[in-house]
Amino acid sequence: SAVISQKPSRDICQRGTSLTIQCQVDSQVTMMFWYRQQPGQSLTLIATANQGSEATYESGFVIDKFPISRPNLTFSTLTVSNMSPEDSSIYLCSVDSLTSGRYSDEQFFGPGTRLTVL
């Protein structure tokens, strides 16, 4: 299993500012995923972060709004830029229990970052 930590756990931000969320994993992983979960809704994948390459963004999400860094195999950051109240959500970092390039049967989640934009 993988243990994932996220910072900050929660924040309240002003409109127009940016927040960077950090995700740390206790083991090396190839792929890290960033999700958003708005109140009462399910998970929406924002992007997949691969070490050594550009992140792959899902439809409706762009790099200018959600820049991602992946400097090594245990760490990633997601920045929510030029925030608006619509960005208020829980942001979750996740990894697959991926070994030797194969997907296995579980995805692990960090504790989440609860963001409120005023």
User: Which chain residues interact with other proteins by CB under 8 A?
Assistant: 41-45, 92, 103, 105-112, 114
Name the residue among 24, 29, 48 with its Cα closest to residue 113.
Answer: 24
DSSP symbol at 58: P
Q: Which of 50, 81 has the CB closer to other proteins?
A: 50
- Residues with Cβ within 8 Å of 51's Cβ and at least 6 positions away in sequence, in order, are 30, 70, 71, 72, 73
Minimum CB separation of residue 101 from other proteins in Å reads 11
Q: Which of 83, 95 has the CB closer to other proteins?
A: 95
Q: Which of 78, 110 has the CB closer to other proteins?
A: 110
Cα(25)–Cα(100) distance, integer angstroms: 17
Minimum CB separation of residue 15 from other proteins in Å reads 24
